[in-house]
Amino acid sequence: MIAENNPALQSWIEVSSQSDFPIQNLPFGIFQPKAADYGRVGVRIGDHVIDLSMLVELGYFDALNLEDPTVFHAGALNDFIALGRPVWRAVRASVSKLLQHDQPLLRDNEEDKKQVIYPISEVVMHLPVIVNDYTDFYSSIEHATNVGTMFRDPNNALLPNWRHLPVGYHGRASSIIVSGTPFHRPKGQIKPDENPPIFSATQRLDFELEMAFVVGKDTQLGESVSTQTAEEHIFGMVLFNDWSARDIQKWEYVPLGPFLGKSFASTISPWIVTLDALEPFRTSPPVQEPAVLDYLKTTGNTNFDIQLTVAIQPEGQAETIVCESNFKYMYWSIHQQLAHQTVNGCPVTIGDLYASGTISGKEASSYGSMLELAWKGTKPLTLKDGTTRKFIQDHDTIIMRGWAEKEGVRIGFGECTGKVLPTK
């Protein structure tokens, strides 16, 4: 067991038993104190942020002999991630030890604590990484089957390639936004049934419940990553909302796939949870039939048992949970996704995002999109305020949450939220 994951660990910083951020988590992100004019690297514990740039300045990381201690002053995690997995682990271990309840070094230094620790209410969160590239997969067999049933043949819902490779498309990195950032309803070409196309704001705005992994190691042109070595190239994971304009998407996607119906906004959670923190929650993947080609074969527990929920909150109203799903449902694992992305020699870059695709389970309550939950608009959902939804309306906020829980320890991602504003 990784020492920092020990369920018995306690911190001298008070952490609620329901917090996503106990001492066993310690995710990385970029925060900016409201009184400051720039962001820097932090670690989350409970309702507080630990400023790693100040830990460096005050000498708490001296024993690590970091190659470049200035990385914690950067406004993105890319330079820190580039130091490599042994450094990620050493920093997490060092922070964990500082925060353990019986360690007085920082605990009993009131002046240093004032410079190092911020209440979460006093900071603003930024995108954690500079994203150069973004790929979105289509890796839930339940979601793919539902979509195929709706739009193609219910008796032959999956396309012939689906069980043989992780289907994906190259998304638009420039429109990835951090949780809490509102965006405007997109507009584009829509093709009403039996009528010529029109230019309009989307009438079928949807969320897609996803997770994404963050690349932690560059590769060169021509280099491939195997499923066995994939985790050496993965820094951690975030929640991901792949906002979708279904009517724009439907008209444009043949023959080259998603384009303007997807590229207007994608929301990610601000804290990157490391694979080390998720280690206790590994679980076996589903049986893949037919057997996959050799370069996609995996061994061991390559999936993670992460509970997921989605809520819709109309403006000024209480939220309604509309989806309860789990990352363990994924047919194609993160290892297979990265191996497939690179098998042709495609290089990957630190900070790149690879999203899972919509995460749906077998039960209707676990479907990860409004397209499925309201079944193409034929089964509207009723919210707590009495209003109904076929798709997402202006001023609605979508709230995604994710956490794993075992032996009294809850490792979570916080919230991934986005509010829809009217079309400009």
Q: Is residue 244 part of a domain?
A: yes
Pairing of strands 134-137, 353-355: parallel
CA-only gyration radius of the chain, Å: 22
Identify whether residues 151 and 61 lie together within a single domain. Answer: no
- Closest to 288 in 3D by CA, of 168, 169, 165: 165
- Distance between first and last Cα of the chain: 52
The active-site residue out of 143, 233, 335, 340 is 143
- Closest to 181 in 3D by CA, of 351, 345, 419, 392: 419
Identify whether residues 114 and 215 lie together within a single domain. Answer: no
Identify whether residues 76 and 213 lie together within a single domain. Answer: no
Identify whether residues 360 and 390 lie together within a single domain. Answer: yes
DSSP at 67: S
Tally of CB atoms within 10 A around 66 = 17
Identify whether residues 173 and 321 lie together within a single domain. Answer: yes
Alpha helices in 194-308 (DSSP H): 246-252, 275-278
Residues in the chain: 424
DSSP at 249: H
Cα separation values, 20 from 46, 176, 177, 307, 404, Å: 7, 23, 21, 12, 9
Pairing of strands 409-421, 183-184: parallel
Per the CB < 8 A criterion, the answer to whether 233 and 225 are in contact is yes
334 vs 99: CA distance, rounded Å: 31
Residue 1: its pLDDT value, please?
83
Identify whether residues 29 and 142 lie together within a single domain. Answer: no
Q: Is residue 107 part of a domain?
A: yes
68: domain CATH number? 2.30.30.230
Provide the CA 47 distance to its chain's centre, in angstroms: 20
Q: Spell out the per-residue pLDDT of the chain, length 424, in tens.
A: 899 999 999 999 999 999 999 999 999 999 999 999 999 999 999 999 999 999 999 999 999 999 999 999 999 999 999 999 999 999 999 999 999 999 999 999 999 999 999 999 999 999 999 999 999 999 999 999 999 999 988 889 999 999 999 999 999 999 999 999 999 999 999 999 889 999 999 999 999 999 999 999 999 999 999 999 999 999 999 999 999 999 999 999 999 999 999 999 999 999 999 999 999 999 999 999 999 999 999 999 999 999 999 999 999 999 999 999 999 999 999 999 999 999 999 999 999 999 999 999 999 999 999 999 999 999 999 999 999 999 999 999 999 999 999 999 999 999 999 999 999 9
> Coil, strand, or helix at residue 210?
strand
171: domain CATH number? 3.90.850.10
Q: Is residue 187 part of a domain?
A: yes
Give 196's Cβ-side CA count (13 Å radius): 2
Which of 87, 105, 124 is the last residue before a domain boundary? 124
Identify whether residues 200 and 90 lie together within a single domain. Answer: no
Tokens 């080259």 found at: 256
Which tokens belong to 244? Answer: 């979708």
Pairing of strands 117-119, 123-126: unpaired
Provide the CA 131 distance to its chain's centre, in angstroms: 13
DSSP at 171: -
Q: Which helix (H) or strand (E) holds 107?
A: helix 104-107
Residue 329: its pLDDT value, please?
95
Identify whether residues 106 and 160 lie together within a single domain. Answer: no
Which of 104, 124, 144 is the last residue before a domain boundary? 124
Identify whether residues 162 and 260 lie together within a single domain. Answer: yes
Residue ranges with strand state E in 82-151: 117-119, 123-126, 134-137
Provide the CA 161 distance to its chain's centre, in angstroms: 26
Q: Give residue 77's domain range.
A: 3-124
Which of 90, 124, 158 is the last residue before a domain boundary? 124
pTM beyond 0.85: the answer is: yes
Question: What is the tally of structural domains in the chain?
Answer: 2
Which tokens belong to 7? Answer: 């369920």
Identify whether residues 342 and 400 lie together within a single domain. Answer: yes
Identify whether residues 112 and 155 lie together within a single domain. Answer: no
Q: Which helix (H) or strand (E) holds 45?
A: strand 40-45
Per the CB < 8 A criterion, the answer to whether 231 and 219 are in contact is no
Identify whether residues 250 and 106 lie together within a single domain. Answer: no
Q: Which helix (H) or strand (E) holds 80?
A: helix 78-81
Q: Is residue 129 part of a domain?
A: no
419 vs 315: CA distance, rounded Å: 9
**Contacting residues for 129 by C-beta, under 8 A, at least 6 apart:** 76, 77, 78, 81, 214, 272, 350, 351, 353
Instruction: State yes or no: is 143 an active-site residue.
Output: yes
